[in-house]
Structure 1
C-alpha cells in the first residue's frame, strides 16, 4: 500500500448558538471545518480533520510511502520543514495528514483505531464544554442541561473578563450538574487573556466562593515561569498546552512544574498527542485533549494511561461528516468502524452554502489589544487618549 495523493474539502459546523471566549465570538455559530483526504493505490482513503494550509510543503515527504509506517512518516514531515520551522499552520497540516495516515493504518488492519492502539476499553471519560463565552444565562443553562442529560458531571466555562458574571455562571452551571451528581467539577478557561498578576488576583477571588478543578491557559502559552507562579498561588490545577506546536515546546513547562494537566489540540494529530502523553506520564502528569470536530483524539486517549478526560464541545458533527461514536454516562463511546470512524459525504458537503470563519477581527482566534492589559480597566482599548477624541 502506497500513498498516491491528497484532496481537500471544506465543510461547516453549525453550532446552533453563538460561540466564543475572552478574545471574541462568532455570533452566527457557523464555523469552517477543513478536511484532508489521503488516497492510496489500494483504494483506501484516510480522513484527517484540520488545517489545509501548508500541505504542499510537507506532503512530498510522504507521497509514495506506505502509510502503515505512520510515526516514521510524521518525522519525515517534520524533517521536511526543518529550516523553515513547523509551527502554526504547517504543524496543523502535519497533524491533519498524520490523522489521515493513522486512519489508513487502522483501516488496513480492519480495526477501529482505539483497538489498534492497544486500548482495552472503548469508553473515553469526557467533560462538557461549549465555547460558551457569548451565551446569556438561559442559553448557558439550556446547553449544559443537554450535556447533563447525557451523563456529563464535569464542565468547563469560558471567562476571565467579568468576575461577578463568572461567579454567577459557575454557580448556575454547578446547579445543573449538582441535580445529578453530588460532586460535579468545574473548570474555567481564560484563553491566554491575563497577565500573571491579573490571573492570580482573579483566580484567588473566584476561589473564595467556588471550587475549581483547573484553570486553563491563564497566561501566554509559552510562559513557563508565569504558569509556575500561578500554580503556586492558587488551589486549582493549571491546564495548558493546546496551542503548543511541537514536543519541544512542552519541555520548559514540564521542567518548571508549570502545568498540572497537559493538554494538546486535537487538530495537531495523533502522533503529537501520543508523544506529549508519554512525556507527561514520565513526570506523573495528567493529559486531556482539547476538543475538535468529531473528537478524533478520543481513540488515542483511550490508549494512554494518564488520560483524565477529553473535552466535548458539541454533541453534533459537522455537515457531511458522520462519526462512529455515542455520548453516554459523561463519556465518548467509540464504535467498531475501522479507522477513526469518520464517514465523509461529499455530496452533502458540496451543497454547503454558508460562509463561515474563525479568523475575523472580533473572533476568538484573533488576540485583542486589551489581552493582558486589564490591571486598571476591563478593556483598555475602549478608552482613547484625549487627542484622539
Structure 2
C-alpha cells in the first residue's frame, strides 16, 4: 500500500463576496487539488492554497511538486509518513517553493483512512463525531447591508455564536458593527471578535474595556496583538480577565509551543495540518489549554476537533467551496458532523475537474461569475 502516483488539478474562480480582515482583502479563490494515489488506485485528497495571488499554471505546480516533494513520498507507506519525525538541521529545513505542506499532510491521512477503511477522526482516537460551529463572517470589507444579510442568514440557520472582524482605524466603526450584530442575531448569542493583530497591548486593553462597558460580553478576542509578543499576550490576559485571549493562529507548531509555555494563550487556535495539529493538541492538553479549530479548507478540521480534548468550537465562514467535492461536511443548527466515510470523507467531484478547473492562469476579468452561494 505504497504511494505510486499523484494528480494535481488547478482551480481559480471568483468568490461570491469579498472576504478579509483589518490587514487583508481577498476576492478570488486560488487553489489546487492534490491527490496522492497508492498502488491499488486509492486516492487521498488535499488542497494547496494561495490566498493572495494566483497559483502558477498547473504544469508548473506539477513540476515543482515532482522536483521538491514527490521524491520524499514516492514508494513509501502513508502510515509511516504521517508519523515520521524528522530531525531539524540546517539547510535541509526549508519550505517548498509552493505551499504544499498542509495539502500533503491532509492527503496522506485521507489516503491512510481509505487504506484502513476508517474515518479520519476514528484513526485519530475520537470519542465523538461532531462539534459546535460558530458563524464567522470574514466580514471586514462588507457593507453594513451585506454584514446584516450574512449574519442574519447565519442566525436563521441556527448558529448561536458569531465572530466578527474588528481593528478598524476608526474604533467607532468596530463598536457600530458590534451594535449591528446584536440587533441582527438572537438574544443571548455568544460573540467573539478578531482584530488580526491590529492593536498594541495597552490599546487592546483600553478598547476591550470600552467594548465591555458598552454592554458586550465577549467569549474571546482573537489575535489582538502581534503573534510573537508572548509577554504582551500574557500581560493582556491579566488586564482583561473578563474575556479569553485566543492566539496562535499565525504560528507554526514550534511557535505554538513557545506561546503556550510563555503563558500567552487562554485558547490555542490551530488549523489544518493534521499531524501538526494533533501533536500540538496533545501538548495543549498536557498544559491544560483548550484548543479551537480555525478555518480549515472544506472544514476538514472537524476530524481533529472531534479527536482532541476540550475542543468546543470550529470556525465556519461560508466560503462557498462545496461545489469542489461530491459530499461536503454536514452542518445543521450550528453543529458540524464528521462523515462516517473512510478518510476525511471528501472526494473531488467530476464537475469540479471539468467545470471549475483552470489549468492556466486566468486574468481577473476572465474568471466569470462566482459559483452559486450555498449557505448551511
> Matched residues in 2 for 1:251 and 1:291: separation?
20
Structure 1 position 62 matched with structure 2 position 73: yes
> Matched residues in 1 for 2:259 and 2:42: separation?
40
- Deviations 1:51-101 (CA, angstroms, capped at 9, x unpaired): 48774434322221111224334x34xx488534356977x4222111101
Structure 1 position 153 matched with structure 2 position 164: no
Aligned to 1:71: 82
Per the TM alignment, residue 223 of structure 1 is displaced from its structure 2 partner at its CA by 1.6
Per the TM alignment, residue 356 of structure 1 is displaced from its structure 2 partner at its CA by 8.1
Per the TM alignment, residue 38 of structure 1 is displaced from its structure 2 partner at its CA by 0.9
> Matched residues in 1 for 2:124 and 2:260: separation?
25
Q: Pick one of 174, 180, 184 that aligns with 1:176.
A: 184
Per the TM alignment, residue 17 of structure 1 is displaced from its structure 2 partner at its CA by 1.5
SS in 2 for 1:144: helix
CA contact (8 A) 2:34 2:107 kept: yes
> Matched residues in 2 for 1:148 and 1:3: separation?
44
Aligned CA distance change for structure 1 residues 330 and 86 (closer, same or farther; 3 Å): farther
After the TM superposition, which of the residue ranges 249-258 and 5-14 deviates more from structure 2? 5-14
Structure 1 position 212 matched with structure 2 position 218: yes
CA contact (8 A) 2:136 2:315 kept: yes
Aligned to 2:271: 265
> Matched residues in 2 for 1:89 and 1:265: separation?
21
Q: Pick one of 276, 289, 296 that aligns with 2:293.
A: 289
> Matched residues in 1 for 2:200 and 2:92: separation?
30
Aligned to 1:9: 9
Q: Which runs of 4+ in 1 moved over 6 A?
A: none
CA contact (8 A) 2:201 2:225 kept: yes
Per the TM alignment, residue 242 of structure 1 is displaced from its structure 2 partner at its CA by 1.7
Aligned CA distance change for structure 1 residues 334 and 13 (closer, same or farther; 3 Å): farther
Per the TM alignment, residue 16 of structure 1 is displaced from its structure 2 partner at its CA by 1.6
Structure 1 position 96 matched with structure 2 position 103: yes
Q: Pick one of 167, 173, 177 that aligns with 1:165.
A: 173
SS in 1 for 2:326: strand
1:349-360 → structure 2 map (5 Å cutoff) = 349-352=353-356, 355=362
1:197-236 → structure 2 map (5 Å cutoff) = 197-209=202-214, 210-234=216-240, 235-236=242-243
- Deviations 1:18-40 (CA, angstroms, capped at 9, x unpaired): 211101323xx332123211111
> Matched residues in 1 for 2:295 and 2:363: separation?
19
Per the TM alignment, residue 229 of structure 1 is displaced from its structure 2 partner at its CA by 1.7
- Deviations 1:257-304 (CA, angstroms, capped at 9, x unpaired): 1101101122xx111111111111111111111113311111111011
Structure 1 position 322 matched with structure 2 position 326: yes
Aligned CA distance change for structure 1 residues 169 and 89 (closer, same or farther; 3 Å): farther
> Matched residues in 2 for 1:323 and 1:49: separation?
16
1:135-150 → structure 2 map (5 Å cutoff) = 135-150=142-157
> Matched residues in 2 for 1:334 and 1:3: separation?
26
TM-score by length of 1: 0.81
> Matched residues in 1 for 2:147 and 2:93: separation?
40
SS in 1 for 2:246: strand
The number of aligned residues is 345
Aligned CA distance change for structure 1 residues 308 and 82 (closer, same or farther; 3 Å): farther
Runs of 5+ unmatched residues, structure 1? 358-389
CA contact (8 A) 1:253 1:259 kept: yes
RMSD (Å), alpha carbons: 2.5
